[in-house]
Chains A and B, each alone.
Chain A
Amino acid sequence: QKEVEQDPGPLSVPEGAIVSLNCTYSNSAFQYFMWYRQYSRKGPELLMYTYSSGNKEDGRFTAQVDKSSKYISLFIRDSQPSDSATYLCATPNTGFQKLVFGTGTRLLVSP
């Protein structure tokens, strides 16, 4: 079983839709969770960073962590064509900053 699993997509939605992107993880010791956005031919850009369970909101983006089910989500409200990118979830793997990444979900928002 992979430490972090993510559906590769692509996920296609119309402009203005609410998008839900999800990851599951296997190690209950994971405490910090990140979402990165990666445009084609670019490096990942940190979007959201959360600790433990609960929600964190930043503009149109909400990150949610459910530690009981080892499930993390990123919600995008009022999605825009500029949100079209690959979204990667990541978590540090105990002890030091060895980030474990999901494979990424490709999102396509059509005008």
Chain B
Amino acid sequence: DAGVIQSPRHEVTEMGQEVTLRCKPISGHNSLFWYRQTMMRGLELLIYFNNNVPIDDSGMPEDRFSAKMPNASFSTLKIQPSEPRDSAVYFCACRAQWGNEQFFGPGTRLTVL
């Protein structure tokens, strides 16, 4: 298994543009998590899905952020419009139904100019 796959690995965009981050979890893992990591705040949970259903989105900072999981093998995190303070590394992680471990992807480094 290739592990969690995220794309793009790096994204540079201008303020006001729409940004879409993508994640393919490990096959068979039914929980999916989106995190944001910054130097100041460390890792923060944005939203997590269980069996493709959003369970807790209390970490989503603003209405500019939205996430979807249309099927078990794909999820997106969208920022519209993007702002410079959204610059961070965004991680996707997944967990198997009976497991205790979260497996992280390599992250997407987002820079909003």
A, B assembled together:
no
Residues of chain B touching chain A, judged by Cβ–Cβ distance below 8 Å, are none
Residues of chain A touching chain B, judged by Cβ–Cβ distance below 8 Å, are none
